[in-house]
Amino acid sequence: MTDTETAVQPFTADDYAARMRRAAEQATAAGLDGLVVMPGPELVWLTGYRPTAITERLTALVLRPGHDPVLVVPALEQPDAEGAPGAAAVELEAWTDGQDPFARAGTLLGATATMGISDSAWAMHLLGLQAAVPGSRYRSLTDSLPMLRAVKDDAELARLQSAAAAADATYEQVVGLRFAGRKETDVAADLARLLREHGHEQVDFTVVGSGPNGANPHHEAGDRTIETGDAIVLDFGGLKHGYGSDTSRTVSVGDPSAQLREVHEVVRAAQQAGVEAVRPGVACQDVDRAARRVITEAGYGERFIHRTGHGIGTTTHEPPYMIEGEEQPLVEGMCFSVEPGVYLPGVLGVRIEDIVTVTADGGRRLNVTDRALHVVE
């Protein structure tokens, strides 16, 4: 772990300033007059500021090309905002209870501005801005700039690599523990503990889908006692240094059935085909198609019931999505999951997932644990 640890340096105010400049340029290219960014993943990415609580009091970053970025914050949260790593790159404008924050934020927009606004903005905040600047218009930031955070720089890649290494170490240790006779929630607790031991500051999900529960991709972990002969979908991740991990492996408790062996081999081949399809210029949907083709040809097409992958960064689900209809070409530095699965209702599920980054030579996996069907006790 120490090798990747030393590669992770804190982001500087200059890093955040560069991101905000790039975002303003992209807004112009998308036909917008600027961006209004509310608390959420984009605000964290652009400024490093993560308000401790998201409340009815208005917090908004206003980015306009040719203007300095301004962060409008409630006065009582000003000290927190000043402590954010990107604070030196923004002008802070504090407002106190009793003042009209929308009128203040409104003066930062043009009278007829068309702004991109965070998808996570509260309706009351958007409505407040609209009332303060009646000529202003708003578009979804994700729809307008879907690839804003998609291409990772070297410092971001180092964080994603570190998070993936921690998830891999977690998997290597969890398969050495006992499964049979314990509850899914016990194994989920082990996964969460190990992710934290390997440096995660946040655990987002610890899926333990045993036997028939594995056939429900949304199953997290429940009271079911794991039995010999079960297939178990393990899918876990969280944040380390602010960047996400997300990996899945399917293990067999005791000797696998012929059915599990067969389905696992189909999913493994599909995952391999998906990763091999990755290279700059290829459309996202072609990664989905490459993985799906293998499963369809094996006769399980109807049982692969979700997209092949999602982007990952400061959030564990973000663009680009590896899904039919997504024609966005892959660009060097993008990071996303490749995670085909087959789900047989009432019987079992199998999913295999790695985070993959696009390099000039093709896809490179950040998760590197063995993808063969592992037998646990």
Is residue 235 near Zn ion by the rule CB under 5 A?
Answer: yes
Cα 93 from Cα 90, distance rounded (Å): 9
Indicate the residue type of 287. V
Compute the least distance from the CB of residue 336 to Zn ion, in Å. Answer: 9
Is residue 246 near Zn ion by the rule CB under 5 A?
Answer: yes
Q: Please state whether the peptide bond connecting residue 217 to the residue before it is cis, i.e. omega within 30 degrees of 0.
A: no
DSSP summary character for residue 194:
H
Is residue 288 near Zn ion by the rule CB under 5 A?
Answer: no
Cα 277 from Cα 295, distance rounded (Å): 15
Indicate the residue type of 303. R
Q: Which is nearer to Zn ion, 95 or 171 (CB)?
A: 171
Cα 20 from Cα 26, distance rounded (Å): 10
Compute the least distance from the CB of residue 209 to Zn ion, in Å. Answer: 11
Cα 362 from Cα 357, distance rounded (Å): 8
Q: Which is nearer to Zn ion, 64 or 292 (CB)?
A: 292
CA geometry: angle at 287 spanning 208 and 26, to 5°? Answer: 100
Q: Which is nearer to Zn ion, 34 or 341 (CB)?
A: 341
Is residue 337 near Zn ion by the rule CB under 5 A?
Answer: yes
Instruction: Spell out, one character per residue from 248 to 287, where the chain touches Zn ion: x when CB under 5 A holds, - when not.
Output: x---------------------------------------
Q: Which is nearer to Zn ion, 156 or 235 (CB)?
A: 235
Compute the least distance from the CB of residue 46 to Zn ion, in Å. Answer: 24
Indicate the residue type of 191. L
Q: Which is nearer to Zn ion, 125 or 371 (CB)?
A: 371
Q: Which span (76-84, 90-98, 160-168, 337-345) binds Zn ion, by CB under 5 A?
A: 337-345
- Binding positions for Zn ion, 173-232, rule CB under 5 A: none
Q: Which is nearer to Zn ion, 15 or 246 (CB)?
A: 246
3-state class of 356 per DSSP?
strand
Sign of CA dihedral 367, 369, 375, 377: negative
DSSP summary character for residue 330:
P
Q: Which span (102-110, 154-162, 193-201, 333-341) binds Zn ion, by CB under 5 A?
A: 333-341
Compute the least distance from the CB of residue 235 to Zn ion, in Å. Answer: 4
Q: Which span (96-104, 153-161, 297-305, 336-344) binds Zn ion, by CB under 5 A?
A: 336-344
Size of site (CB under 5 A) for Zn ion:
5
Listed residue (333, 331, 330, 337) closest to 315, CA to CA: 337
In whole angstroms, how far apart are CA 126 and each of 59, 65, 134? 12, 21, 12
Q: Which is nearer to Zn ion, 115 or 275 (CB)?
A: 275
φ, ψ dihedrals at 239, nearest 5°: -120, 135
CA geometry: angle at 201 spanning 196 and 206, to 5°? Answer: 55
Compute the least distance from the CB of residue 141 to Zn ion, in Å. Answer: 22
- Binding positions for Zn ion, 346-375, rule CB under 5 A: 353
Is residue 318 near Zn ion by the rule CB under 5 A?
Answer: no
Compute the least distance from the CB of residue 208 to Zn ion, in Å. Answer: 12
Beta-bridge partners for 67: none
Q: Which is nearer to Zn ion, 125 or 219 (CB)?
A: 219
Cα 157 from Cα 372, distance rounded (Å): 26
Give the binding site for Zn ion (CB under 5 A): 235, 246, 248, 337, 353
